[in-house]
């Protein structure tokens, strides 16, 4: 009898339905979608969303490369896309099922890391910049609009022990390269050497390499300057206001240029529910849904139709919505592989062990 029932289930597809529940598994940065957006998607698709989080691109890449399965949608930063494609971990997007893709700003499409957007579509973006205690920095007469605030020993002498930088080799080297007038993506040995010298000279003035708790440290007033992401500075300022601190956390782009991180939605090849994955991506490309993320965390928005739903106080922040002139100075980091990646890793180790 059991064999007969199993045959009937296979014939009707009941086994498949029982195994593939109406659940979308999302692998994303922490705090990178609003609870309201999740609730609305669940209602519209009559499904559940289960989320898992990562704190760094390297963590996500390592987990997927090691064979982790069960996720439908993943949201990597641009430079992490080529490795995912190269490892055959993602599937091409069926654009005929994504009518809301028309809402995207063309300036964020057809990027070098995915020409023609075969595998990915933009979700949100951040800039990497300097956040600071507005009261202290004003009192000390320091210009926060230059990378000198984290690299010039003469400036750092005024704020020694009150500065943190990201624990991220690509971002720290990119900032030092731009400070010295080079491309953030330079792989020229002499330019990387100059950037490394800049970092090592500045390091004794820094309190720590910190990519995890600088929001809290800024909010508490324990540090006065942090190298970090624009949406994190938005959060730090929001928290400082809520705690009624006697200072604010301001943030601005640097005159030498900044890096731009565009995060993108992709469907994994092993996705249990690729149908829900496509529905989710199309849902997030709706302007109103996309704007909810910007209003919550202060992320930049690559969706042209979202602008009308973004709160004016968020839209007015130049680091969140850079002007056309500032956009020209933003650089996306390229994927590094092979010798270039090994060279940077070696130089980073030298930075971390330097006294």
Per-residue pLDDT, 5: 43
Specify the long-range contacts of residues 327-330, CB closer than 8 Å, at least 24 apart: 327/107, 329/253, 329/256, 329/257, 329/258, 330/127, 330/257, 330/258, 330/259, 330/260
Q: Is the pLDDT of residue 325 over 70?
A: yes
Q: Is 263 annotated as a binding residue?
A: no
Q: Is 342 annotated as a binding residue?
A: no
Q: Is the pLDDT of residue 17 over 70?
A: no
Per-residue pLDDT, 323: 87
Please give the average per-residue pLDDT across 249-268, as a whole number. 96
Query: How would residue 155 be classed by pLDDT, with cut points 50, 70 and 90?
Result: very high
pLDDT tens per residue across span 167-220: 989 999 999 999 999 999 999 999 999 999 999 999 999 999 998 899 999 999
What CATH number belongs to 23-125+262-320?
3.40.190.10
Contact in structure between 130 and 224 (CB atoms under 8 Å) = no
Distances (CA, A) of 314 to 20, 173, 207: 40, 29, 30
What CATH number belongs to 126-259+333-353?
3.40.190.10
Distances (CA, A) of 225 to 129, 248, 353: 10, 12, 23
Per-residue pLDDT, 4: 44
Arithmetic mean of pLDDT over the chain = 92
**Cα 303 to the chain's mean position, in Å?**
16
Q: Percent of the chain having pLDDT more than 70? A: 94
Beta-carbon contacts of 10 under 8 Å, excluding residues fewer than 6 positions away, are none
- Domain residue extents for the chain: 23-125+262-320, 126-259+333-353
Q: Is 42 annotated as a binding residue?
A: no
Q: Is 96 annotated as a binding residue?
A: no
Q: How far apart are CA 192 and CA 199, in angstroms?
A: 10
Q: Is the pLDDT of residue 257 over 80?
A: yes
Q: Is the pLDDT of residue 304 over 50?
A: yes
Pull the structure tokens for residue 33.
């979608």
Per-residue pLDDT, 2: 44
Query: How would residue 245 be classed by pLDDT, with cut points 50, 70 and 90?
Result: very high
Per-residue pLDDT, 20: 52
Q: How far apart are CA 76 and CA 61, in angstroms?
A: 9
Asked, colleague to colleague, whether 23-125+262-320 and 126-259+333-353 share their fold, the answer is yes
**142-146, 288-292, 330-334: the lowest-pLDDT one:** 330-334
């Amino acid at each position: 009898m059991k064999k007969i029932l199993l045959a009937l289930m296979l014939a009707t597809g009941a086994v498949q339905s029982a195994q593939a529940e109406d659940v979308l598994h999302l692998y994303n940065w922490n705090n990178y979608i609003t609870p309201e957006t999740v609730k609305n998607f669940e209602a519209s698709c009559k499904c559940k969303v289960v989320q898992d989080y990562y704190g760094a691109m390297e963590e996500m890449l390592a987990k997927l490369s090691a064979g982790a399965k069960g996720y439908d949608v993943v949201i990597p930063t641009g430079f992490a896309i080529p490795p995912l494609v190269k490892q055959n971990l993602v599937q091409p997007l069926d654009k005929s099922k994504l009518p809301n893709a028309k809402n995207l700003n063309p300036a964020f499409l057809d990027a070098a890391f995915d020409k023609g957007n075969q595998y990915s579509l933009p979700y949100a973006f951040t800039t990497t910049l300097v956040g600071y205690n507005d009261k202290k920095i004003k009192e000390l007469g320091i210009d926060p609009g230059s990378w000198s605030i984290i690299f010039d020993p003469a400036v750092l002498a005024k704020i020694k022990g009150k500065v943190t930088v990201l624990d991220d080799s690509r971002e720290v080297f990119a900032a030092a390269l731009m400070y010295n007038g080079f491309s953030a993506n330079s792989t020229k040995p002499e330019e990387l050497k100059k950037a490394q010298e800049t970092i090592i000279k500045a390091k004794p003035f820094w309190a720590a390499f910190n990519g995890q708790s600088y929001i809290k440290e800024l909010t508490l007033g324990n540090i006065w300057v942090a190298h970090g992401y624009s949406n994190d500075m938005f959060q730090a300022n929001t928290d400082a206001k809520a705690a009624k601190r006697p200072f604010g956390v301001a943030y601005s782009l640097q005159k030498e240029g900044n890096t731009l991180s565009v995060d993108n939605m992709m469907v994994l090849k092993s996705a249990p529910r690729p149908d829900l994955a496509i529905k989710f991506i199309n849902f997030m490309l709706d302007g109103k849904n996309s704007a909810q993320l910007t209003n919550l965390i202060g992320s930049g928005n690559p969706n042209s139709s979202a602008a009308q739903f973004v709160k004016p106080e968020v839209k007015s922040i130049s680091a969140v919505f850079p002007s056309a002139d500032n956009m020209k100075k933003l650089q996306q980091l390229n994927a590094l592989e092979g010798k270039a990646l090994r060279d940077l890793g070696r130089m980073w180790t030298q930075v971390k062990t330097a006294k």
